[in-house]
Amino acid sequence: MAESNKCSKCGKVIPQGEGLSTKKGIICSECAKKKNVKTWGTIGACLVAIAAIACFIVFNSNKVDSFEGVGNINDNISAENVEVRSFDISKAMAISSPTSVGDAIDDIVLFKTKVQNTVNELSGDDNQIILPSINVLFGLNSYELSESATALINEFAKVYCQTNKESMITVDGYTCDLGSDRINNELSLNRANAVKQVLVSSGVPDQKISIKGYGKTLYGQLGLNGREANRRVNIGIK
């Protein structure tokens, strides 16, 4: 008689050569069918869950793609489209610096630095720029400009011409106390005219320049130290 085994699940006798071998022993065909049904049921449940997750992801992805934003927000806004208003010197009016005659700048590097610092502090809402007053010195009985003086005047004119040119430029000539009133009046006016010529040649409209020669009438009243400091022309904004 052939040997038989018992099902490890239900205890039924399993004929020789039949049954399904598992880790826990041999099981009969009926138990094997139940095992397969359970296994496929688990697999099916997993597939259904995966499909549901996939559908959720696709659905939410479509929602994000179709989101139009809040209110009138433009999805095409970029850094290039954002207007940052910077100071526009061409629309600004030059105004005078609150300095005395003796405080006027006589160095071109210092003048450039002050102008640049002023521009850096201005924004698109500003429509004025302070233009520092400058001064140039002359030799005794002379109205000839030095190279450095000419360069300084040219730089002043360059900045002024970048503004809206609505302001008036004042050019005031002075002398020391040596000589007669007639000679000094003429000399101070000649000095002012020499400066005006450089301004005009640098692009400043003639009608925007006001010149005056004070001669020696203000000698000792300007807070200047010595005769050499009084042989000058001051250029500023009115």
- In this structure, are residues 96 and 133 in contact, taking their beta carbons and an 8 Å threshold? yes
Which residue ranges make up each domain of the chain?
5-64, 89-237
Instruction: Write the DSSP assignment of 64-116 as a string of letters.
Output: HHT---STT--TT--GGGS------GGGPEEEE-S--GGGSB--HHHHHHHHH
Does pLDDT of 237 surpass 60? Answer: yes
CATH class of the domain defined by 89-237: alpha beta
Model confidence, pTM: 0.64
73-101 pLDDT, tens per residue? 344 544 454 455 689 999 999 998 877 88
Kindly report, residue by residue over 202-217, the tens digit of the pLDDT: 999 999 999 999 999 9
* Least confident residue range of 55-59, 222-226, 232-236: 55-59
Burial environment of residue 80 by CB neighbours within 10 A (0 to 12, 13 to 18, 19 or more): exposed
